A and B are shown apart, each in its own frame.
Chain A
């Protein structure tokens, strides 16, 4: 596995697109949330309270939310590039001819994805902890650890997103088409599908709002929800007996299930296809 990873690193070491994506992600991840600081500089009243997003434990959620979008755009795009380039340049076919089995080729890509997820999670944990410690008055270690399994949630969210990118790349193969599906599904298609399901259920007289939370990308989003949405959901839950987001344990469980499903479907599709 280590050898497969070394070979993959050799492959994209001189690839300018992939290098740029990693560099941008690494630079943006710790600092993107701090760019909002200027906005709150002279704020008063409730707005001033929002500036407390840099305090522990809130920083875990805000940094996680921003980070999950960075993962979606930068690392997801990188995974798409990593696979579809091998198809379009026909190097995947040549790798197999030279001696890789399909399993080895696929494992190499999965290894890269796991390493990227670990890297992103470390960056997230480190940057959140440092920002939190610098901004929280009266900091103590217990406060730092009070984060509702945020590091695990971020890791699963990243892994799920990147496995989804792999699945899209394996199924659609062409760079442009894969990119379109990758961005359109969570941003346009799934919200439409969620709306249609809910509309159908309301029409049939059996409204079930929580059903929409089980859609794959929605589930991954619930691992790192925008904190105000979770607060609103808790409020609605009390008054209407319905919830807009999964609870953390359910989101973690569902995130693992969907990540495994994406991986399984990607492998099945890859195994069956001609190279």
Chain B
């Protein structure tokens, strides 16, 4: 069942189009990453679906319209930096969130323990480090046990230790069965946490789908032989070779899926009486896919 259906959502600021005809469906239970460089339209998208930014055109529907105007009670979200009352402590800030969400059954102490903040629950928000603020924000999103939680650049500005801690917490949230929507410009983060991804660039959707399918784990093989034609014939008939390009008179570059290893290629050539003069494997990096998707006009779905 889709928790969110976005149809042709567009946001313009004067002549600038921040988001252009975005279509997206997010299914329940997915961990959905909105991935794109800074200024690509991720936060604008989140702002509109949370009702704090007016849309220029298009539509979106949460939970198939099941909750009407009160849909936001089923969403826990933090946009950009965590914002709380600086003169109140963690406990009081979470009590206010509880009031807003009209949810009195949360165990604030347990939530603070989940995000490793129980020991500082009495300290004022303004005394917190950025990592602690981010962790309090995550605790706040969980108040009222919402069906969907949304995080916008949750590890922005954190040191490596803070990043690891926040990612662990996010994984635990995702494991609890909630639908998670996370905006990030960090490919690594999306790859490690998300099951699905939508890549946005300049307000346009470039690709969407399962992370494993969008980011291929193909291996690139650089291979050369004195019998280049024989080598080409041998490789082109194999199903695990996805793409084959002759770079010059002696070298072939081919993309192969992970089901075959370089050793097996070597043995295959030997069995076909082809002497290899060079065999080099290069793992295609996710960054290559990401850069390719955000650079050109490729639409992958």
Contacts and interface: CB of A to CB of B under 8 A. Distances in A.
Secondary structure class of chain A's binding surface, majority of residues:
helix
Nearest to A275: B52
A101 B69 contact: yes
Contact of A93 (B73, B83, B95): B83
Contact of B87 (A6, A14, A274): A14
B140 interface: yes
Nearest to A95: B100
Indicate the size class of the contact surface on chain A: 20 to 34
Given A10-B99, A90-B83, A274-B54, A97 B92 contact: no
B52 A97 contact: yes
B97 A98 contact: yes
B100 A15 contact: no
Interface in A65-124: 89-91, 93-101
Interface string A1-26: 00100110011001110000000000
Contacts of A14: 87-88, 92
B96 interface: yes
A183 to B, nearest CB: 25
B85 interface: yes
A173 B12 CA distance: 23
Nearest to A85: B85
A6 B144 CA distance: 19
B101 A91 contact: no
A14 B101 CA distance: 21
A244 B85 CA distance: 47
Contact of A6 (B52, B76, B88, B99): B99
A164 B104 CA distance: 35
Contacts of B95: 10
Interface string B122-147: 00000000000000000010011000
B77 A97 contact: yes
B193 interface: no
A16 to B, nearest CB: 7
Given A10-B92, A94-B84, A98-B140, A3 B52 contact: no
B186 interface: no
Interface string A183-202: 00000000000000000000
A98 B140 CA distance: 9
Nearest to B76: A98
Interface of B: 50-54, 69-70, 72-73, 75-79, 81, 83-88, 92, 95-97, 99-102, 140, 143-144
Interface of A: 3, 6-7, 10-11, 14-16, 89-91, 93-101, 274-275
Given A7-B100, A91-B85, 8 more contacts: A10-B99, A89-B83, A90-B83, A96-B51, A97-B52, A97-B77, A98-B143, A99-B100
